[in-house]
Chains A and B, each alone.
Chain A
Amino acid sequence: MEQPNLSYIKQLAGGDTAFEDKFITILKDEFPGEKKEYEKALQEKRLHDTALIVHKLKHKLNILGLEQGYGIAVDYEERLRRGNSDLSGAFREILETIEKYLKTI
């Protein structure tokens, strides 16, 4: 499975390690809440709300260099808007991969 990386963040920081640290802290703070919010919306079958959270989460997939994951998220968001949550399993795996990765940095 594709693994997250910090290439984009490093490109953005341009050697500014204070920014890198600050940004990683923001990701670590923000991601768990969004994941929890996503799971709750999905569990309650509020698929439109779920799509909105996936929309927000997919930016983080991009930030972490998960190109395939981003493709899945785009497709999943579209399907959710049409009332279809078939890709929830694949998306959960991506979120879990990010969750594990954030614990290592």
Chain B
Amino acid sequence: MTCIIIDDEAAARAIVSQLCAKTPELDVIEEFSNAIDAIKFLNQQNIDLVFLDIHMPGFTGIDFVQTLKNPPMVVLTTSDTNFAIEAYEYEAIVDYLVKPITPERFAKSIQKVKNSLTAQPVQGADTASSGVGNELYINIDRRLIKLKFEDILFIEAKGDYIDVKTTKEDYRVHNTLKKIKEKLPAELFLQIHRSYIINFTKIIDIEDNSVLIEKNVIPISRSNRPELMRRLNLL
């Protein structure tokens, strides 16, 4: 795993570098004393992981993460924990190490990075069907949550996100309706509106241009209505 270290303090860079040297899977390509030089470097070279100091003069670690369009995985390093909550708002940030970093804590962090890498094919889509059962995994805050198809009521598009409503809980996932549709069995799910996919078996009734699922009234678009009607077992 290739990595770079960004910290304005030479002693801090030396510590992270030493910890990396003791970790066979890590290969430190470069060290930087400021974020600007690191950004120039990252524009020319792909790196797997960045160890990034939050507190740097003029340009914080958070600024750094926000600046990059496709940031690599980032492990933040800092002398205080004030930024912790803000840090975890960014998907690229895998962990947060408080200085002075101990070898034990560093090892845990690298394990987190490895776990994150393993989960990445799923993370890229943020949803994946297992291919073996009747379930779908969704990625929420780096946790893969299993949803049984039979528990899903409907899915609603909300801008860059989709809301997955289930019989137990609701989940917001960074993904598109089109992608999740590909993961759902067509015999159970049907798109009835550009913003809605419903579990066909959960319909309570259909009235005019809407369906009722539990207490939710979901619109049916004119173009999707014929397919819905075709699939109903009408008497």
Contact = CB atoms under 8 A, between A and B. Distances in A.
Contact of A52 (B11, B14, B55): B55
Contacts of B55: 52, 55-56
A12 B79 contact: no
Contacts of A8: 100
A14 B99 contact: no
Contact of A23 (B14, B19, B22, B103): B14
Interface size band for A: 20 to 34
B15 A12 contact: yes
Interface residues of B, number: 18
A22 B9 CA distance: 15
B99 A59 contact: yes
A72 interface: no
A30 B15 CA distance: 14
A59 B11 contact: yes
Interface in A20-36: 22-23, 26-27, 29-30
B14 to A, nearest CB: 5
Nearest to A73: B79
Interface string A53-97: 001101110110000000000100000000000000000000000
Interface of A: 8, 11-14, 16, 19, 22-23, 26-27, 29-30, 52, 55-56, 58-60, 62-63, 74
A66 B24 CA distance: 31
29 contacts: A8-B100, A11-B103, A12-B15, A13-B18, A14-B103, A19-B18, A23-B11, A26-B11, A26-B14, A27-B11, A30-B10, A52-B55, A55-B79, A55-B80, A56-B8, A56-B9, A56-B55, A59-B9, A59-B11, A59-B12, A59-B79, A59-B99, A59-B100, A60-B11, A62-B79, A62-B100, A63-B11, A63-B100, A74-B80
B102 interface: yes
B12 to A, nearest CB: 6
Contacts of B10: 26, 29-30
A30 B19 CA distance: 20
B131 interface: no
